[in-house]
Amino acid sequence: MIWKLTERVIEFPRRTLVMGIVNVNDDSFSGDGTLEIEAALAQARRQAEEGADVIDVGAESARTNRAAVAVEEEVRRFREFLTRWPEVIGTAVPKDGEQVWPPVLSANTWRPEVVAAVLPWGVELVNDMGGLPDDRNARLCAAAGASLLIMHSVGEPKVPHFHQQWEDVMGSMEAFFEEKIALALAAGLPREAILLDPGIDFAKQRDDNLRVFRELERLHRFGCPLMVPVSRKTVIGEVLGIADPRERDAGTVACIAAAVKRGAQMVRVHEVRAAWQAVKMLAVMEGGRGGEMGTTNRAKLRENEGISGNRSEHPQG
């Protein structure tokens, strides 16, 4: 499987990619959004150095209890960040030799007017949380050579769908993706430029979300990279009884492990450091590469931790 971007191609299988979230808004549900561009740029640089393969920038919260911002305001926020993106990749240092570098620049938006505005600023991926109701975003991506991430949901974004009931959420999702992929292909977008997002928490109840995690492998039938948004989701709070999204990172790592085990090509997270460590360890334990740490650095690590050979001075500590 390949993922076709504007000027490069990413091949799978490989370590699961980490998509970091940068919210250039002041009402993110996770409390980490900012309208201060310097702070947003610093956050993106930190995520890149922590191992993010993709940086997903959003200028409007997806929260349904907030009104949509004006198109002009969303574009203005994007412009301030995206035009300075070269500063981020020009000063950041990659985590290791397996990281996608420079990180893929993704714009999280849904209105075609905004998509048309942001694509010339180096955006390689449009993360369409609107569920592709028509072919306009697909046509824009096809014309620019960008890729498109299609999220499963129902109805218009920014409108609550708390009472949506599914008789068969996975069967409905498969039918949805069949329709949307056909729409995108007819608009001129290559299949290799299409990614799929099962839309955890969007128009889904607790049991729907858990079933999506359990049966994620069904979506591989489409032959498109699968991105699973696992970070700090409401379903984690419901299962663990944790109201504050910022306290759900341990539950997020469990969801990362479930997604990786079921073949997800990418996970979307707020806390990149923990996610990178999780996917790295999972890849190594499944027989993947161990990274580029040299023997000298390994020896130093063992010395610092009091480890000699295969024995430790503090095996339980």
Domain presence at residue 298: no
- Determine, yes or no, domain membership for 314: no
For residue 265, give the nearest of 44, 10, 95 by alpha carbon.
10
What single letter denotes the amino acid at residue 304?
A: N
- What single string gives the DSSP state of each residue in the chain? -EEE-SS-EEESSSSPEEEEEEE-SS--TTS---S-HHHHHHHHHHHHHTT-SEEEEESS---TTSPPPPHHHHHHHHHHHHTTHHHHHHH---SSTTS-SSPEEEEEE--HHHHHHHGGGT--EEEETT--SSSHHHHHHHHHT-EEEEEP--S-TTS--TT---SSHHHHHHHHHHHHHHHHHHTT--GGGEEEE--TTTT--HHHHHHHHHTGGGGGGG-S-BEEE-TT-HHHHHHHT---GGG-HHHHHHHHHHHHHTT-SEEEES-HHHHHHHHHHHHHHTT----S--HHHHHHHHHHTTEETTEESSTT-
Tell whether 266 is covered by a domain.
Answer: yes
Rg of the chain taking only CA atoms, in angstroms: 20
In a domain, 305, yes or no: no
pTM of the model: 0.88
What's the total number of domains in the chain? 1
Tens digit of each residue's pLDDT, the chain (317 residues): 999 999 999 999 999 999 999 999 775 555 566 678 999 999 999 999 999 999 999 988 665 556 678 999 999 999 999 999 999 999 999 999 999 999 999 999 999 999 999 999 999 999 998 999 999 999 999 999 999 999 999 877 656 656 788 899 999 999 999 999 999 999 999 999 999 999 999 989 999 999 999 999 999 999 999 999 999 999 999 999 999 999 999 999 999 999 999 999 999 999 999 999 999 999 999 875 544 444 445 555 556 666 544 444 444 45
Which CATH number belongs to the domain containing residue 188 in this structure?
Answer: 3.20.20.20
Q: Is residue 311 part of a domain?
A: no
Q: Range of 240's domain?
A: 2-291
Nearest residue to 303 (alpha-carbon basis) of 317, 313, 294, 293: 313
Q: Is residue 317 part of a domain?
A: no
The C-alpha atoms of residue 267 and residue 276 are separated, in whole angstroms, by: 10
The pLDDT assigned to 307 comes to 55
Quote the Cα angle for 249-254-256, to 5°.
90
**Does residue 152 sit within a domain?**
yes
Q: Is 296 part of a structural domain of the chain?
A: no
